Amino acid sequence: MLRGSMNALMSYLDPRVTVTPGQAGNELWALIYVFVIFAGVAVIVLCMNWIERKALAHFQIRLGPMRVGPHGLLQPIADAFKLMLKEDIVPDEADEVVFRFAPVIGLLAAFTVYIVIPFGPTQAVTDMNIGILFMLGVSSLGVLGIVTAGWASNSHYPLIGALRSSAQMVSYEVAMGMAVLSAILMTSMNAAGTGTLSMIGIVQAQQLQGIWFIFKFFPLGFIAFAIFAIAMVAETNRAPFDLPEAESELTAGFHTEYSGLRWSLFMLGEYAAMLAVSSIAVTLWLGGWMRPFPNLLQGPAWEFIFSLFPGLTFGALAAITFISAARMPSHAFFRIQRAGMAIFAALIGLLALLLLVIAVAGRANDASIAARFREGIDYVYWFMLKVAVFMYMFIWYRATWPRYRFDQLMKVGWKVMLPISLGVLILTAIVGVLLP
């Protein structure tokens, strides 16, 4: 059994492998990917919680959490403990089975999308031939979680919030689907005239056509991307489309009656859905795992420079952390926070050093272990960098824009987004046929 597992482990690291573990039937690596994605999403949600609170605070010219760890870095962990220790309240007349099951539905829908998201040409759990269809279908199952949560609470505010939220999600799903269709149409603008629905195929189509789809047929690709960007904010019930869960309007909407760990499941599902739709946007329009300027800045020198970016990014982060540790007041009360911050800076610095070593060791463009590690790390790094930009935009929107009223929201969804996305789809088809 051990030899069999070692075989399965090594078979994926073989340089001749050209498919994802799911396609190759390699269940062990597919399972490893699933675990890594699960752990990664959980860690990212924790980080997003901290970043959101600090960023919102700084947007509002205040400091945010500062006490729990150095600069509030341990605040999410304290929040997790608090939520786990809260009393588990189930409303009196509520439907118990459905009440307990509703957050799980939303969570399942958000996490299942990660099966098809590619972090590299062979780094995905699997590459379905109908990847986009699967993604659209599974994300439309998230509505059911919200509807059942609102119903099962047996109370007015959650029910109204749930109905509003699901009406909003269903409306913006249509515009989202049309925008996705425009991107899929662009994959067929090659010599053979055949497109593809698979996510890896879409990024490879961008690679072959030499242009990110956001810039293709300018401004059509950009308008399609903008529609998807707006629709994905509405899909995840984030500001400015967060009327159904706004605290000042509907007393927290569909998750009013949920407290403690159940509410944290909803929050986890919401952030996971944000990550998932950001990853979809990056894959469809922003070139997935490709580094910027793949054609303009070619050659081994530029490859080496761009492969230093992961190490340099973490090095910059380590430097910022170290400087903030040095700038802390040298009072006795801050000693432990200063020490903690310095240790954190040292850890990030070690990670940066490791990435730089891998980048330098694998700079040859051959099939050695170091080169393949470097390639894999580069793919994942560029993908996560673009997704991180999107996640920051989510927080930026929340800090900056006021909320849409519900009728304005529905009007925008049906009367503005749907006609524009239809127009973009038709124009993309026409331009694609007319241009050679």
Task: Name the site residues for other proteins (rule: CB under 8 A).
Answer: 1, 4-5, 7-8, 11, 24-28, 95, 97-98, 128-130, 133-134, 136-138, 140-141, 143-144, 147-148, 151, 159, 163, 166, 170, 173, 193-194, 197
Q: How far apart are CA 153 and CA 98, in angstroms?
A: 9
Nearest to other proteins of 69, 253 (CB atom): 253
Nearest to other proteins of 290, 418 (CB atom): 418
Nearest to other proteins of 80, 410 (CB atom): 410
Cβ 160 to other proteins shortest distance, Å: 10
User: What does residue 183 show for φ and ψ, rounded to 5 degrees?
Assistant: -65, -40
Nearest to other proteins of 239, 417 (CB atom): 417
Q: Supply the Cα-derived Rg of the chain in whole angstroms.
A: 23
CA-CA distances (angstroms) from residue 47 to 50, 183, 338, 391?
Answer: 5, 31, 20, 11
CB 73 within 8 A of CB 317: no
Nearest to other proteins of 85, 97 (CB atom): 97
Q: Which residues, 6 or more positions from 67, have their beta carbon under 8 angstroms from its beta carbon?
A: none
The first and second tokens of residue 178, run together, are 């049309």
Nearest to other proteins of 93, 366 (CB atom): 93
Strands, E assignment, 63-171: none
Nearest to other proteins of 179, 348 (CB atom): 179
CA-CA-CA-CA torsion sign (259, 265, 270, 275) = positive
Cβ 378 to other proteins shortest distance, Å: 28
**Exposure string over 127-155, b if 16+ CB within 10 A, otherwise e:** bbeebbebbbebbbebbebbbbbbbbbbb
CA-CA distances (angstroms) from residue 23 to 17, 124, 129, 134, 279?
Answer: 11, 10, 10, 16, 21
The first and second tokens of residue 414, run together, are 């049906």
Cβ 418 to other proteins shortest distance, Å: 13
Cβ 407 to other proteins shortest distance, Å: 17
Cβ 129 to other proteins shortest distance, Å: 3
Angle at 263 between CA 274 and CA 117, to 5 degrees: 25
Q: How far apart are CA 80 and CA 54, in angstroms?
A: 17
Q: How far apart are CA 332 and CA 158, in angstroms?
A: 49
* Total count of residues recorded for the chain: 436
Nearest to other proteins of 79, 173 (CB atom): 173
Cβ 29 to other proteins shortest distance, Å: 10
Cβ 431 to other proteins shortest distance, Å: 17
Cβ 56 to other proteins shortest distance, Å: 32
Reduced to 3 states, what is the DSSP secondary structure of residue 41? helix
Q: Which of the 8 DSSP states describes residue 14? A: -
Cβ 207 to other proteins shortest distance, Å: 21
Query: Is the bond preceding residue 91 a cis peptide, omega within 30 degrees?
Result: no
The first and second tokens of residue 77, run together, are 């962990």
Nearest to other proteins of 151, 212 (CB atom): 151
Nearest to other proteins of 6, 84 (CB atom): 6
Nearest to other proteins of 5, 408 (CB atom): 5
Cβ 169 to other proteins shortest distance, Å: 9
Return the closest-CA partner of residue 33 out of 111, 126, 142: 126
Cβ 80 to other proteins shortest distance, Å: 30
CB 310 within 8 A of CB 381: yes
Place of tokens 């629905």: 197
